[in-house]
Amino acid sequence: MALVNLSFAACGFLGIYHLGVVAALLRHGDKLLDSLRACAGASAGALVAAVVVTAPDKLEHCKEFTYRFANNVRKQKLGALSPGYDFMLELRDGMEEILPPDAHLLANKCLHVSITHFKTGKNRMVSSFTTREDLIKVLLASSFVPVYAGMKPVEFQGQKWIDGGFTDGLPVLPTGRTITVSPFSGPQDICPHHPIGSVQPHIRLPNMTLKFSWDNIKRLDRALFPAPLPRMQALHEEGFADAVRFLRTGGWMR
């Protein structure tokens, strides 16, 4: 059977959708996972990809952390922009809890993380991790949105980096088939199906296309300003259902 990759889109707090997708793959997607070569992602997508590669047993922990993280952001007067709130510190604390001691060894050559050079604006895909700290720094860099997450870009290998979604929000790897996952309705393999009529204009982001719809516009807002808990739980369930549909239609169900 041909090898496949999984790639998760940049999407902020809509990463809860990705976790629903992964839950479905772990429960029903053995056939696909047996053929899995690598995972890729940008921003929240990179975080979920890292969990798939290094700590799938911590999936429930990740879900609860995401709900807690979103709730802490919602409680701030100005969200993540509130003075005194350290978005990146809370994100790092979550990684420290979830990533195992040998995460960098598990991720090496199996995880591809999209980051953006702060000065040149050029994309880089990182797939080599010498230490666990290197892995954490790359994941933090891929999730750093200037101003929203702080004022100082993340340093890695002596250079400054920001969110990979600015330059490649949904990486497609050069070897094997890449199955793309996105919480936005569009042409991706696993994504919501939101009919909007016969005419379907699109929004084009770096290496990612979305349908131009009111639902997608609302979701773009919820990526940075998280929805209330019931809505986030619904997004998780939606990701699970969309992944099951993909497995069935693609012949991946055992």
Which active-site residues does the annotation give?
43, 163
Residue type at 200 in one-letter notation: Q
Identify which of 176, 231, 162, 211 has the alpha carbon closest to the alpha carbon of residue 7: 176
Q: What SS3 state is found at 38?
A: strand
DSSP string, 107-161: HTTTEEEEEEETTT--EEEE---SSHHHHHHHHHHHT--TTTS-SSPEEETTEEE
Measured at the CA of 239, the angle between CA 234 and CA 240, to 5 degrees, comes to 95
- CB of 181 closer than 8 Å to CB of 21: yes
Q: What is the CA radius of gyration of the chain?
A: 17
Q: What SS3 state is found at 53?
A: helix
Relative to beta strand 111-117, strand 36-42 is parallel
